Chains A and B, each alone.
Chain A
């Protein structure tokens, strides 16, 4: 069975602080994709990153960075110098590689509140 766990339900930080959102996944498949999505109060899901299981390189995109470690089945997300606009719910998700359709399995999300 596949599962995504986001142990942090809510995080509150003050603007300009760095914050890391944790994600741990479970799957027996050796090939899969991992995702992070942002969901602001308006409700739409905004795609942030996709990583396949063969690529363990960390990635940096502006203030965002991702640390993928297969050894610990973790795919953590760090926001550097957080801003109020980063306030949202963040979802980590898993998609298996094989087959014609690609169902996303979501974690329960982490609500990030960035205070001015």
Chain B
């Protein structure tokens, strides 16, 4: 089945130790998104790719970066995780075009910082 896959499902990292979360898709969607969801809060968009065009939200900390080497994969890099970065990280994809088409979420990676 076409889907969005996030690995790992759970990630524990040390304070200040770089960590990478991955997302892959078999939907061939042009757009990929990374959302951060802290406990008891709504998902918050960090950035998105339209093909290889990277778009950062204005309030996304510099500590967060992303790579999209090809259509299928997208990575979220946290350069120096702090305790406040503990959250669920959700990857999503959509086709280009008018809003609302084919918006598909992965199962998320729950990040713990110790």
Contacts and interface: CB of A to CB of B under 8 A. Distances in A.
Counting contact residues on chain B (CB < 8 A from A), the size range is 20 to 34
Interface string A72-116: 000000000000000000010001111111111011110000000
A102 to B, nearest CB: 4
A43 B99 contact: no
Nearest to A50: B100
A96 B99 contact: yes
Nearest to A52: B100
Contact of B100 (A44, A45, A97, A108): A97
A64 interface: no
A71 B108 CA distance: 36
B84 interface: no
Interface of B: 30-31, 33, 40-45, 48, 50, 55, 88, 90, 92, 94, 96-101, 103-108, 110
